[in-house]
Amino acid sequence: MGEEDVYTKDGTVDYKGDPANKKKTGTWKACPFILGNECCERLAYYGMSSNLVLYFKLRLHQHSTTASNNVTNWAGTCYITPLIGAFFADAYLGRYWTIACFSIIYVFGMTLLTLSASVSGLKPTCTGKDNCHATDIQSAVCFIALYLIALGTGGIKPCVSSYGADQFDDADEAEKKRKGSFFNWFYFSINVGALIAGSFLVYIQDNVGWGLGFGIPAAAMAIAVCTFFSGTRLYRNQKPGGSPLTRLSQVVVASFRKYRVEVPADKSQLYETADAESAIKGSRKLDHTQDLSFFDKAAVETQTDHVKDPVNPWRLCTVTQVEELKAIIRLLPVWATGIVFATVYNQMGTLFVLQGYTMDPHVGNSTFEIPAASLSIFDTLSVLFWVPVYDRIIVPVARRFTGHKSGLTQLQRMGIGLFISIFAMISAAILEVVRLKMVRRHDYYDYKYVPMSIFWQVPQYFLIGCAEVFTFVGQLEFFYEQAPDAMRSMCSALSLTTNALGNYLSSVLVTIVTRISTRHGKLGWIPDNLNYGHLQYFFWLLAVLSVINLGVYLLIAKWYTYKKAVGTLR
């Protein structure tokens, strides 16, 4: 290996700021610390959030629709705040320090939530197991803690997956090939944490107490922080490239300033730096692409552009800078199709739980009862099953037929996931139809639960888990690969906002459906007692929306133009 091959060529540096040594940093030497951190952080997040709808309903004494909307609104915020963390990571702090700083906020929020559920005066007053009343102050403390957690997770979510991918040199084909496996095992580690949370922690919350049930996730988050710092010497770090929003704005402004200027037929005449590297710190040059040609005007040189030195970036931009904006615009239609999928996915934390709460929770003939929220472990088990199957079986087999290094393109992978999600909603709707028939036939309206095993929910959870492996993992990799080098945290955050908007869309749909279906004194589709409702109609609605969404996605994927990065950074 020559001296020039000792160091990475994608611009990464080690913890001292020196060029990253391939032998001493990155790849699978560093990834176990990142995966361990993610596993513990997700254990903390899901351990706290999986049963949150029941905490709101049973401890804060909220109605079903209020509790459901509060959970989806909070969860949605958890996927909006990554835009804040991503901005600081790409512009100023870098991914390492963004993760470190926001993790402290996260731990503080988890600690406050634990206190709000365990300390006398902060926790709601209960006269029985499920007869509780929370004061305004107690509710406020709970929500302050939750939104601190939302802010904390905002600095971690957009950075961790990108930071793990940064450990593989984009300019080294051998390392780049292994990056696809990282995203699969990254999602695997998420679900190991979710499995523990959805089984062990939910059981503790239901049968031991909410204080301990929230305290263990708080401890897990502290362990996550320690695990992350333990790998500091092994990490490769991308330098922050300055404000991506400023660069994008400059292209837009320069394009409109030159709206009358014609773009030359010879695109080699467009402005670009003469250096081998891009003018943007931490970013390779991008080749010109033909679509969205209006923005090429920003890179057309005119006589007035060189009156002053240096060049005014609000009048003249490089081709790479223009292509950054084009890459973001191309991602938006693909991003939008993820919103409906996220709406389907987020039913696991709300209406699936409420549906399960009306069913027999006993395991066989034993007295052991499985909490409704614990059924999410079957989603997790599905993911843990499908990730290695996809990575070790589907990819090699598909590669033989397609010739693609990853077996399937990321767009093909996401499309398969969208298709599978339709059947998850169909399964949930059919189950509710059968359950309500039993209620009406035997007059079970006011029973705590109908004598129908909660395990009939397993197929809908399993199908969503399968869809996740295709859609969410494909989305993670797609947004990382198609993002400009200096905007990868921002694009990861953008992909996460589909989850936020999915939560918000779920809240909007529930609100609209409730208002329409409760007219003229009717109980509506989703009353407090689901035995009097029509929850299946809501699941059918989501199935129809998913079919429409898949059709739109296929059209978008057909016309997508991939970015073209050139050169190296070393």
- pLDDT the model gives residue 220: 92
User: 360 φ, ψ to 5°?
Assistant: -65, 115
Name the burial class of residue 101, with classes exposed (0-12), middle (13-18) and buried (19+) by CB atoms within 10 angstroms of its CB: middle
pTM score of the predicted model: 0.80
Helix (H), strand (E) counts: the chain: 18, 6
Helix axes 136-165, 173-196, angle to 10 degrees: 150
- pLDDT the model gives residue 570: 52
Q: What is the pLDDT along the chain (570 residues), one digit of tens a residue?
A: 455 578 888 778 888 888 888 888 988 999 999 999 999 999 999 888 878 888 888 778 778 778 878 887 888 788 889 989 999 998 889 999 999 999 999 999 999 999 988 888 777 777 666 667 777 888 889 899 999 999 999 999 889 988 998 898 877 877 877 887 888 888 899 889 888 887 788 788 888 888 899 999 999 999 999 999 999 999 999 888 788 889 999 999 999 999 889 988 888 888 888 776 677 776 778 888 888 889 999 999 888 877 667 788 888 988 989 999 999 999 999 999 999 999 999 898 788 988 998 898 888 888 888 888 778 889 889 999 999 999 889 988 988 888 887 788 889 999 999 999 999 999 999 999 999 999 899 888 888 889 899 999 999 999 999 999 999 889 988 998 888 888 888 888 888 888 878 888 988 899 899 899 888 878 888 887 888 888 899 999 999 999 999 999 999 998 888 776 665 555
Cα–Cα–Cα angle for 484, 489, 491, rounded to 5 degrees: 60
Measured from the Cβ of residue 369, the count of other Cβ atoms closer than 10 Å reads 16
Q: What letter would DSSP give residue 393?
A: I
Token duo for residue 100: 């470190």
CA distances from 283 to 248, 253, 447, 570 (A): 14, 22, 62, 11
CATH class, domain 18-240+324-566, is mainly alpha
- pLDDT the model gives residue 64: 78
Spatial separation of the C-alpha atoms in residues 287 and 527, rounded to whole Å: 56
Q: What letter would DSSP give residue 80?
A: T
- Beta bridge partners, 304, equal none
- Residue 496: name the closest of 38, 82, 151 by CA: 82
- pLDDT the model gives residue 91: 87
Cis amide leading into 310 (omega within 30): yes
- pLDDT the model gives residue 311: 80
Helix axes 488-517, 535-558, angle to 10 degrees: 140
Instruction: Identify the three-state secondary structure at position 544.
Output: helix
Helix axes 319-345, 410-442, angle to 10 degrees: 20
- pLDDT the model gives residue 3: 53
Q: Which amino acid is at 518?
A: T
Token duo for residue 93: 């702090």
- pLDDT the model gives residue 1: 47
Spatial separation of the C-alpha atoms in residues 87 and 159, rounded to whole Å: 10
Note the pLDDT tens digit of each residue in 12-41: 888 888 888 888 898 899 999 999 999 999
- Report the relative pairing of strands 450-453 and 132-133 from DSSP bridges: unpaired
SS (H, E, C) 448-468: CCEEEEHHHHHHHHHHHHHHH
- pLDDT the model gives residue 430: 96
Place of tokens 């679509």: 291
Ranges in the chain annotated CATH 1.20.1250.20:
18-240+324-566
Token duo for residue 339: 């919103």
